[in-house]
Structure 1
Amino acid sequence: MPSRETLEAFIADVMSEDHVGAIERWYAADASMQENQGEPRLGREALMAGEARTLSRVAGVKTELLGGPLIHGDQVAIRWRFTFTRKDGATLTQEEIAWQTWRGDKVWRETFFYDPSQMAG
């Protein structure tokens, strides 16, 4: 079970907007991420590569903590808002809930819940 201090450090790291580095530092080697019940992506290296690909398609991203963390044993819920600035200067905003299962001080499983229509445009 992650401590409140561990989660605060994790959130601060994500808020620094080094998203690939946060995955490297906070996710287990065999971690998985899943979008809205889609097919899970497996392994920290694959997660880092996927995040790097996503970030390469935009000029920048602003990260905001909207709620949480809510902690129940190894289960954690965090509400985020990400504002992506596209390379043409337009912005897209996505709010999501990250539902995580931690093993000790590492994220092991994570599912993101959001409305995909937020990213249309």
Structure 2
Amino acid sequence: MPTTETIERFIKRVEEGAHAEACEEFYTEDSSMQENQGPPRIGRSSHVANERKVLARAKSVESRCIRPVFVADNKVVIRWIFRFEWLDGTVTEMEELAYQRWEGEQIAEETFFYDPAQRVPRKPTA
């Protein structure tokens, strides 16, 4: 079960924009990450590579945790809001729930739940 301090450090890293680094620091080596009910990505290195790939397409990313964070034993649920400004000038705004299973102080399994329609980039509003 993760400590409150560990969960808060994880959230802080993501809110700082250190997405790939958060994967390196807080996920088990053989962790799984799944988007909605799609096939999971397995392994910390695949999570880091995926984050770097997404971030390479972005001019900026804003990440914000919406509280409260729900914790029960080794399960944690975090509500996130993300805003991606892409290199082509479009934006993507997403709200998602991250359902995590922790092993001690690291995330072993994570599933994201969100409306896939949010992933479609759009022109920014004035």
Query: Shared fold by TM > 0.5?
Result: yes
One-letter amino acid of the counterpart of residue 92, structure 2: L
Q: Which runs of 5+ in 2 are unaligned?
A: 122-126
CA shift digits 1:70-113 (9 cap, x unpaired): 00000000000010001122221000000000000000000000
Q: How does 1:35-50 map to 2 (within 5 A)?
A: 35-50=35-50
CA shift digits 1:20-68 (9 cap, x unpaired): 0010001000111000011000000111001111111111100111123
1:4 equivalent in alignment to 2:39: no
- Measure, in 2, the Cα distance between the counterparts of 1:28 and 1:94: 26
1:99 equivalent in alignment to 2:102: no
**Is the deviation greater in 6-15 or in 34-43?**
6-15
1:62 equivalent in alignment to 2:59: no
Aligned length: 121
**What corresponds to 1:77 in structure 2?**
77
SS of match in other structure, 2:38: coil
1:25 equivalent in alignment to 2:25: yes
Percentage identity across paired residues of the two chains: 42
TM-score normalized with structure 2 length? 0.92
- Measure, in 1, the Cα distance between the counterparts of 2:69 and 2:103: 16
Runs of 4 or more above 3 Å deviation: none
SS of match in other structure, 1:77: strand
SS of match in other structure, 1:21: helix
